[in-house]
Structure 1
């Protein structure tokens, strides 16, 4: 099994978090036949009198992006929640325990616990707590999506994933989130692509995404694994 295995679970606080940070990685994984699930904890969009369909449109955008990248999309708690901050941390951990029991991944990718966004940090901490029950699973973190904060520059990847020919696929997935009446700031796709090129330049490839390895347990030959406790 490689560092990024064959059953990968990406856990995101909001729609578009996974696509922004690891959209190219997801496309590369599904392109080689890996089973990738993206679980989104909250919809992070509220309806208003003037825009009653905001939540449903963001849900539809996430589903469209999943179709582009080729992953399975799961709404944690059926997408009932709007912000991670609305949930006690113990409740988030319980939801993640149930999620990992269902998906049974060999690799989990989620937010960096040094992120600037409180929702992202709370989810990252909950993922670390949930890791207690899955010592055999590799855990990685992706960096902040908001490049205007000091935290973005402080994130230092330990692993780079070349995007190969998937830069355009990532851009198509992100474009699903640009629609009339969206209640969040428009995505700066040019800057996202520029950072992907900068990551790629660091490792001699046109574009790449960066991750931090939190825990990696390499697979062992069968005769060795039989002696593990």
Structure 2
């Protein structure tokens, strides 16, 4: 029996695995129905084809559903009525209990615009909305992420890395430093809850009782 329905947004392929991969694997193991939504796939035709295949392979690690692509043209990933409408249609159709998306303080404008659109589209719904940490690689911002919800992913961290490694073109591009950075961040977060690894989220909205 499905325990709940999850919508997870990432502006580009591999974003959601970087930010919430361990949590997604954990929820998948607990029989949640997870729908990955990718904002857009940048690059020329051959690059887009490669990255779409990688995204589909990666999604199999934490979902039974193929990724949904919001817009074909990266320049159309903007905070506007059209994108909000597309996201709203997905939310109405899937009826998620929980939504994961980028942090509003992220350094990448695509990440910010997508989350702004997600929040606007969810205004008439009662779903939980959680933002995952700043995407790596990225640059420093003057905003401060509020780690309000900790998820123990000690048992799922290697599966997170497995999912991320499916994005071979990007892992090859950024090298071992990306994996080392994610492992270090997860260990740092885990320290605060007495676990080896954890992922953390900032809350936009959450229901209880």
Same fold (TM over 0.5): yes
* Contact in 2 for aligned 1:42/1:75 (Cα 8 Å): no
Cα deviation code 1:92-148 (max 9, x no counterpart): 1011111101111011111111111000111111111112121x2111111211365
Unpaired runs of 5+ residues, structure 1, are: 48-52, 220-229
Moved runs in structure 1, 4+ residues, more than 3 A?
A: 182-185
1:152–1:67 Cα change, 3 Å: farther
For residues 142 and 194 of structure 2, the distance between their equivalents in structure 1, rounded to whole angstroms, comes to 21
Q: Which residue number in structure 2 is paired with residue 68 of structure 1? A: 61
Deviation at 1:71, TM superposition (A): 4.6
Q: Normalising by structure 2, what TM-score? A: 0.89
For residues 155 and 147 of structure 1, the distance between their equivalents in structure 2, rounded to whole angstroms, comes to 16
* Contact in 1 for aligned 2:17/2:160 (Cα 8 Å): yes
Q: Normalising by structure 1, what TM-score? A: 0.82
* Contact in 1 for aligned 2:79/2:113 (Cα 8 Å): no
- The equivalent position to 2:14 in structure 1, one of 13, 16, 34, is 16
Query: Does residue 1:186 correspond to 2:186, yes or no?
Result: no
1:150–1:88 Cα change, 3 Å: closer
* Contact in 1 for aligned 2:186/2:199 (Cα 8 Å): yes
1:119–1:132 Cα change, 3 Å: same
1:156–1:11 Cα change, 3 Å: same
* Contact in 2 for aligned 1:10/1:108 (Cα 8 Å): yes
* Contact in 2 for aligned 1:37/1:74 (Cα 8 Å): yes
Unpaired runs of 5+ residues, structure 2, are: none
- Following superposition of structure 1 onto structure 2, how do residues 1-229 of structure 1 map, counting pairs within 5 Å? 6-47=4-45, 53-77=46-70, 80-83=72-75, 85=77, 87=78, 89-134=80-125, 136-146=126-136, 149-151=139-141, 154-179=144-169, 185-186=173-174, 188-219=178-209
For residues 140 and 175 of structure 1, the distance between their equivalents in structure 2, rounded to whole angstroms, comes to 24
